[in-house]
């Protein structure tokens, strides 16, 4: 049986992001199920706003190439996305737009995304925990050929329940987040068997 490779990250580039914290926690759950998990922060891959003229003139930016390579190596994705104005963050959408691009005529445009499986989480200071943004993210990923598993976790009042060290004050919420990562790992193990 092949080991699943999972890429985990938050959709925010804010330092001390609540969503980065829960992405890392879900990654722990996947690792406990013998998945190989790479946790990254989008802030470490600064990208210009996607612009086809820029791409035509200069090619794919170096940071976009590095990010795309991480996506190419993964079977699954753990994405914890905050909700900005009832949708996904500009940073997350921009990263997806760059990663989706083909670098040659021989490559399919969404080769780094299509065929992957993802789980989604969100954390927000608001009462819905970022759920509205996950609706949009699920649609975007589905249109790119990514299977998004139905289970998801949204954590409301994130500023009250996510501690400074990135852990959750409620053990039940911790279990839910880690279980979501484990669910992805076990799903991928079955697919790769």
The ranges assigned to domains in the chain are 5-192
Helix (H, G, I), strand (E, B) or coil at 9: strand
Which tokens belong to 4? 């699943």
- What average pLDDT score do residues 74-96 get? 96
- What's the mean pLDDT in 102-129? 93
Average pLDDT over the chain reads: 95
Q: What is the pLDDT of residue 166?
A: 87
Tell me the C-alpha distance between 103 and 71, whole Å.
14
Residue 132: Cβ within 10 Å count: 17
Beta strands in 44-184 (DSSP E): 76-80, 117-123, 147-155
The reported pTM is 0.96
Which architecture characterizes domain 5-192 according to CATH? 3-Layer(aba) Sandwich (3.40)
Whether 1 shows a pLDDT value over 80: the answer reads no
| Band (109; pLDDT cuts 50, 70, 90) | confident
Residue 105 has a pLDDT of 86
**Average pLDDT for residues 135-163, to the nearest whole number?**
96
pLDDT at 192 over 70: yes
Average pLDDT (134-149) is 97
Check residue 12 and give its pLDDT.
95
In the chain, % of residues over pLDDT 90: 92
């Amino acid at each position: 049986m092949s080991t699943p490779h999972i890429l985990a990250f938050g959709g925010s580039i804010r330092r001390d992001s609540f969503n980065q914290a829960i992405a890392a926690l879900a990654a722990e759950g996947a690792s406990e199920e013998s998945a190989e998990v790479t946790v990254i922060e989008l802030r470490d891959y600064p990208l210009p706003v996607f612009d086809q003229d820029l791409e035509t003139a200069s090619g794919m930016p170096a940071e976009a190439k590095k990010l795309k390579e991480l996506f190419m190596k993964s079977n699954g994705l753990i994405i914890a996305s905050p909700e900005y104005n009832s949708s996904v963050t500009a940073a997350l959408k921009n990263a997806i737009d760059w990663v989706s691009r083909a670098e040659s005529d021989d490559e399919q445009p969404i080769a780094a995304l299509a065929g992957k499986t993802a789980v989604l989480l969100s954390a927000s200071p608001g009462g819905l925990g970022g759920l509205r943004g996950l609706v949009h993210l699920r649609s975007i990923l589905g249109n790119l050929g990514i299977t998004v598993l139905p289970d998801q976790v949204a954590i409301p009042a994130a500023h009250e329940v996510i501690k400074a060290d990135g852990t959750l004050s409620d053990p039940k919420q911790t279990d839910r987040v880690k279980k979501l990562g484990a669910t992805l790992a076990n799903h991928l193990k079955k697919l790769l068997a």
